[in-house]
């Protein structure tokens, strides 16, 4: 079957599942697994990233794909008859910028990724009917830039004076599995699907050759993990905010959530303080902890303008959200506007990564190095290229030129014959890095 026909058939099945969810909003869906078939597993395989790291078995996605005709029917049989064994997730720890903590990165096996993707394709249409519009993370057709735009539009249009910035400590490691399965069970009653979810939650983690079994958390790195995390936060925060908080506020309030990155905006200080006093208890009720220092109320009203509840003008603060520092600044025409620039932590991380790459790859040919660095800059612009962030983008471009020139000068005796003047001329005439550009324009979004 051609890829396009297979994709269309899978899309039709997802539409049918969504239709059933709309027609039966109060019923548990008990017959989902018959939508799980070889065709769906094949589509799931093609949606798994080919460059994803292998799991505990060392098998890459491309290697698994060489025997799909044999592997997928066998996988489907094991999944439906309960004999599928979820392998432990290979885990490594990467340091978190600016803290003493580390960020765990999980790597399931290729077969596990395929099956998780197939199950996620069954569940997504159901929960898309329930999720709120202010949730953007890991949802079909939604992106972090849409979340950034949603905040910018609402903060500008609603006259926001206070922002509540939330930081959940080790969220993916702290999810209470029993609570999560209860929440899933409110919508899903299919035994095959529930059994697979439980197996993934309890599969264990392999670190430095040893397997351990944490009592809490979702399988980080797993394809199913973002969906499960959204299901949990939908109950912990989204539904509570939509059905309780909104109704009790004196002024306007809004929220924007991308996975576990979350901000709230308020027009009234008393509303913001009221939510701040209770939100720690709300998250602790579900086994989650908010960072006491990084969860904070930030004055964020337009400069030189007082609040709606009689408070005097105050100096606005700044906060980080989705890799950008948000602050008030003057536009080219002199008006006060909310501006965004690359967060300092993200900027340092980018420059450090580029420097490390130049150091370890300085033996390669100059043209090869140049092509890779251009791709890195293009990728950086693709995310951080938003209106008003030109200075930060140009800083990355200039720093890339300098660090590349630095490591080229340290390559070998032969390369040392090239003077700084020669290298500067080559950077200006032959190896010209792409200039900073706006990829995500607020003016285009308004149109």
SS3 annotation, 250-314: CCCEEEEEECCEEEEEECCHHHHHHHHHHHHHHHHCCCCCECCCCCEEEECCCCCCCCCCCCCCC
Q: How far apart are CA 333 and CA 432, in angstroms?
A: 32
Q: How far apart are CA 147 and CA 137, in angstroms?
A: 8
Cβ(173)–Cβ(216) below 8 Å? yes
Strands 205-207 and 89-95: parallel
Q: How far apart are CA 216 and CA 411, in angstroms?
A: 49
Task: List pLDDT tens digits, range 277-287.
Answer: 999 999 999 99
Whole-number pLDDT of residue 447 = 34
**CA-based end-to-end distance of the chain:** 41
Residues 6+ apart with CB under 8 A from 436: 381, 385, 390, 393, 394, 396, 397
Structure tokens at 166: 């939330």
Range of lowest pLDDT (146-160, 181-195, 313-327, 411-425): 411-425
Q: What is the mean pLDDT of the chain?
A: 90
Residue 115: other Cβ atoms inside 10 A: 27
Whole-number pLDDT of residue 208 = 85
Helices vs. strands in the chain: H and E counts, helices first: 18, 11
Positive or negative, the Cα torsion across 388, 391, 395, 401? positive
Residue 98's pLDDT band, with cuts at 50, 70 and 90, is low
Q: What are phi and psi of 238, to 5 degrees?
A: -55, -55
Whole-number pLDDT of residue 100 = 63
pLDDT over 70, % of the chain: 93
Residue 77's pLDDT band, with cuts at 50, 70 and 90, is very high
Maximum Cα–Cα distance across the chain: 76
CB-side exposure of 270: number of CA atoms within 13 Å? 8
């Amino acid at each position: 079957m051609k890829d396009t026909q297979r994709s269309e058939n899978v899309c039709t099945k997802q539409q049918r599942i969504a239709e059933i969810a709309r027609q039966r909003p109060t019923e548990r869906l008990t017959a989902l697994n018959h939508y799980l078939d070889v065709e769906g597993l094949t589509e799931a395989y093609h949606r798994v990233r080919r460059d994803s790291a292998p799991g505990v078995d060392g098998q890459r996605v491309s290697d698994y794909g060489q025997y799909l005709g044999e592997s997928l029917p066998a996988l489907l049989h094991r999944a439906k008859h309960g004999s599928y064994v979820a392998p432990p997730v290979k885990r490594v720890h990467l340091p978190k910028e600016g803290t003493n903590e580390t960020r765990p990165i999980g790597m399931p096996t290729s077969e596990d990724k395929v099956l998780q993707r197939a199950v996620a394709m069954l569940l997504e249409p159901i929960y898309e009917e329930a999720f709120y519009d202010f949730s953007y993370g890991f949802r079909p057709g939604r992106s972090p830039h849409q979340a950034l735009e949603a905040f910018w539009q609402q903060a500008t249009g609603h006259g926001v004076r206070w922002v509540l910035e939330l930081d959940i400590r080790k969220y993916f490691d702290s999810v209470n599995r029993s609570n999560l399965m209860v929440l899933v069970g409110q919508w899903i009653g299919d035994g095959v699907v529930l059994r697979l979810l439980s197996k993934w939650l309890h599969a264990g983690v392999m670190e430095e050759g040893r397997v351990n079994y944490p009592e809490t958390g979702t399988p980080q790195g797993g394809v199913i993990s973002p969906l499960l995390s959204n299901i949990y936060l939908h109950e912990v925060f989204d539904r509570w905010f939509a059905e309780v908080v909104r109704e009790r506020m004196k002024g306007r309030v809004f929220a924007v959530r991308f996975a576990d990155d979350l901000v709230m905006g308020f027009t009234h200080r008393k509303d913001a303080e009221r939510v701040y006093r209770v939100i720690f208890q709300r998250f602790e009720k579900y086994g989650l902890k908010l960072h006491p220092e990084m969860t904070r109320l930030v004055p964020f009203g337009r400069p030189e303008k007082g609040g709606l509840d009689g408070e005097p003008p105050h100096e606005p603060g700044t906060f980080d959200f989705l890799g950008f520092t948000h602050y008030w600044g003057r536009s080219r025409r002199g008006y006060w506007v909310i501006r965004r620039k690359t967060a300092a932590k993200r900027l340092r991380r980018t420059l450090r990564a580029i420097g490390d790459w130049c150091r370890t790859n300085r033996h390669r040919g100059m043209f090869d190095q140049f092509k890779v660095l251009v791709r890195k800059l293009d990728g950086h612009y693709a995310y951080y290229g938003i209106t008003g962030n030109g200075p930060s983008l140009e800083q990355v471009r200039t720093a890339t030129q300098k660090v590349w020139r630095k490591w080229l000068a340290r390559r070998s005796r032969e390369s040392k014959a090239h003077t700084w003047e020669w290298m500067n001329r080559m950077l200006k005439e032959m190896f010209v890095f792409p200039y900073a550009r706006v990829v995500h324009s607020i003016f285009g979004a308004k149109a």
